[in-house]
Structure 1
Amino acid sequence: MDRRILKTQKAIIGAFIQLLAEKEFEDITINEISDRADVSRGTVYLHYIDKFDLLDKCIDIYFKKLFESCMTLNGTTLLLSKSFMIRTFEYLEEHAFIYTTLLVNKGIPTFRNLMMDVILGNLSEVIDASSIKRDINKEVTLQFLASAIVGLLEWWIIKSIPIPAKDIAEQLWSLLERFQVIPHLPDSN
């Protein structure tokens, strides 16, 4: 892709993220986005159908960046693991402004929902592969755990990262082991 197009799209998305940090999604206009990005309205419309398309593309970009950075190790996709959790929290810490904005803005639950879906999928595979007792309905277990993990991520990022990334990841892993959500593995890194 042409470097000028990438530069323009980056400016538009950057302006959009800044505006999302300042106001609710529904209150943002294409004029504000174009002014902040220092491009014309027509340029915004050249790249995006409307602000909903821009939001979708923005979420796709940052969701892919998060999971491409955290979910692969040496070219292989990871299931739920301590190293995955540590990398995820470290990545969120490093890019806190963007992810705080995407999680905090009440007008855009899409990012949170995508996180829930990925965590549900990973947890489902972990539970299927483990020897965890099946005395509780699997769907109840999955919903409870995924909600707890996403809730913890939200709390941690919204509260301006009150605990270092490695520490919160290790505490979460410890809780999952303690409550026998995941089997205690001596080499679970």
Structure 2
Amino acid sequence: MAAPSAQPEVAEPTDRRALRSRQSLMDALGKVLRKKDFNDISIQEIADEANLTRATFYLHYPDKDALLQAMTAVRFGESLRKRLDSSPDCAGGLRTIALGVCEYLSRATSCPSSLSKMSLERSVIPVIEGIIHDGLRKFHMASGIDPEIFATTVAWAIFGAATRWAKTPDRIPAEQMADIIDSLVNPLWQSITAGRAH
């Protein structure tokens, strides 16, 4: 069972030209979003900004919502992986993920763009699942545990708690919420892992 893609409607590109086109479209959407609200942006504007045709746009994305979801997933994934790479030890990985999600959701829900109205779980959950799944490969797991189901469970737990926190008026600081999420999710992690794999 594969982790759900941020863009289930479109196959993942593997050649460099397709990857460049996708990146150009994401960059173009980012630039246009600085000037206009998402709902007022046309696919032609995005394609023009990327110096690509509308046909090329549709080769990669079924609509501008799919492009926004993909752009969000890539940016969130890069941000979270950078945070994890600079984390001093693996033991604090779940807290680091929780803090990254809290801070990302805090920014996304407070900005006036369409990001604040978008259903972020389609972009954020697959990234968290992938990172958790990759982390599980470093540990011996209890028998009978499906790593993909476990990764999904942990991803939704972190995302759900962080989403609830982000929507709370007068919320506690993100660092404090990350500690709470870690205290709830870490026992689950500890219960199915038994030391590092060799």
For the criterion TM > 0.5, the same-fold answer is yes
Contact 2:77/2:127 (8 A) holds in 1:
no
> Structure 1 residues 86, 124: CA separation in 2 closer, same or farther (over 3 Å shift)?
same
> What residue number does 1:64 align with?
74
Distance 1:103 1:181 in 2: 35
Secondary structure at the counterpart of residue 171 of structure 2: coil
> Which residues of structure 1 form unaligned runs of 5+?
1-6, 20-31, 35-40
Counterpart mapping for 1:22-41 below 5 A: 32-33=40-41
Q: How does 1:29-178 map to 2 (within 5 A)?
A: 32-33=40-41, 43=45, 46-47=48-49, 53-73=63-83, 80-98=93-111, 101-102=114-115, 104-105=117-118, 111-159=120-168, 162-178=171-187
Unmatched segments (≥5 aa) in structure 2: 1-26
Choose the corresponding residue for 2:32, options 9, 12, 16: 12
Letter in 2 for 1:153: A
Q: Deviations over 1:124-144 (max 9, x none)?
A: 233332345335444443332
Q: Deviations over 1:75-127 (max 9, x none)?
A: 6799744234323422432443359954754xxx5x42232222222222333
Contact 1:70 1:91 in 2 (8 A): no
- Contact 2:128/2:155, CA 8 A, preserved across alignment: yes
Compare 132-141 and 144-153 and name the one that shifted more. Answer: 132-141
Indicate conservation of the 8 Å contact 2:101/2:159, yes or no.
Answer: no
Name the CA distance, whole Å, in 1 between partners of 2:95 and 2:159.
16
| Equivalent residue number for residue 5 of structure 2 | none
> How far apart in 2 are the matches of 1:11 and 1:60?
15
Residues 37 and 113 in structure 2, CA contact (< 8 A), matched pair in contact too = no
Runs of 4+ that moved beyond 6 A: 74-79, 182-185
Q: Is the CA contact 2:109–2:115 (under 8 Å) kept in the aligned structure 1?
A: no
Return closer, same or farther for 1:88/1:99 CA change in 2, 3 Å cut-off: farther
TM-score by length of 1: 0.57
Q: What is the RMSD of the two structures over their aligned residues, measured on CA atoms?
A: 4.3
Q: Residues 64 and 146 of structure 1: is their aligned pair in 2 closer, same or farther, counting only changes over 3 Å?
A: same
Taking the aligned partners of 1:69 and 1:158, their CA distance within structure 2 comes to 21
Distance 1:135 1:103, change over 3 A: farther
Q: Aligned partners of 1:184, 1:162: CA distance in 2, in Å? A: 35
Note the C-alpha offset of 1:43.
4.1
